Structure 1
């Protein structure tokens, strides 16, 4: 089977999975899948309640990927996204605790704040 045909089949299957949850959002799903297939990033801008979070969660679930969400606020620190090193007194060493950016699909919500 040709790679292009296989890629289309996989995208169609993923699109079908997303379509069972996201009804009436065919154009958004197609654009999301195009960016996904191209290895790109997606910026979803729309009014509240239009399914942006659901779309991202459904994509992650459809491809078996991890999903995290970061709520951007004026007081958000880099360590809130990247993670932080915490000293373990018992082991006498620093231990890195990963932040939400260590995932496959990251939803950065309200990035305009």
Structure 2
């Protein structure tokens, strides 16, 4: 009985370590991506190479931690050459893409008479 409890404790500790490694990997991926983009914009080739390595190491840590749990890194995201995207898009709902079904007559906008201004 004591061996099973000890095994479960070791497993839980391993899970926590994997989660923390995944969080660190996600942070490194984000930091490396942002800094790599900045270095690219300012033509800093040395910084770009360094930050690309940070990003790739972070991605590896994230995937290693994720493989322990048998899932995909950050469910719903896709890693592409340009970064990570959720696929939701800027205007994925009715707001902002003109597909709202709310009637638009006399809702807000500029006042038409002086009396409506106050």
User: TM-score, normalised on structure 1?
Assistant: 0.31
More helix as a share of residues: 2
More strand as a share of residues: 1
User: TM-score, normalised on structure 2?
Assistant: 0.31
Name the structure, 1 or 2, with higher relative contact order (CA <8 Å, separation 6+): 1
